[in-house]
Homo-oligomer: A and B are copies of this chain.
Amino acid sequence: MSWTERTEETLRQAGYRRGAARRIVVSVLAREGCCVTVPEIVDAARRQGHDVGLASVYRVLDLLTEKGLAQKIELGEGRARYERVEPQHERHHHHLVCTDCGRIEPFSDEELETALRRVEEETGFAVASHDVLLRGSCDDCRAA
């Protein structure tokens, strides 16, 4: 079952209707692999031939985040980014950000996840999710 299918199914079962904004935002997130900003979502939607209101995008993203179907990520840019969350932590990844040009690259590492799981168990919290952010200069910026 694809992320889109699982998402539509989850929302339907929770009693939500399948409105235009929800369909459009889900469609955009399904195609975008890594984290995108709200204006980027609106632009991508327009490129697909659909217009969505900013407010609706924020509302859909809040809903998806609350249901664990998407997650909000802040990389220090002063605005949030969102990306889909796959079941079984498939394609789970973290982010590498270039402090010079803003370039964002995803990465993943199983040993890091193992260390995180252990730390999460040791805290007094019931940890639901985690983010790792690496900041530095990308190869292009270092060469320049």
Contact = CB atoms under 8 A, between A and B. Distances in A.
Interface of A: 72-76, 78, 80, 96, 98-99, 105, 107, 109, 111-112, 114-116, 118-120, 122-139, 142
A137 B125 CA distance: 5
Given A72-B76, A114-B115, A125-B139, 5 more contacts: A74-B74, A107-B119, A129-B134, A129-B136, A131-B132
Contacts of A129: 134-136
Contact of A74 (B76, B109, B126): B76
B132 A128 contact: no
A139 to B, nearest CB: 5
Contacts of A125: 96, 98, 105, 134, 136-139
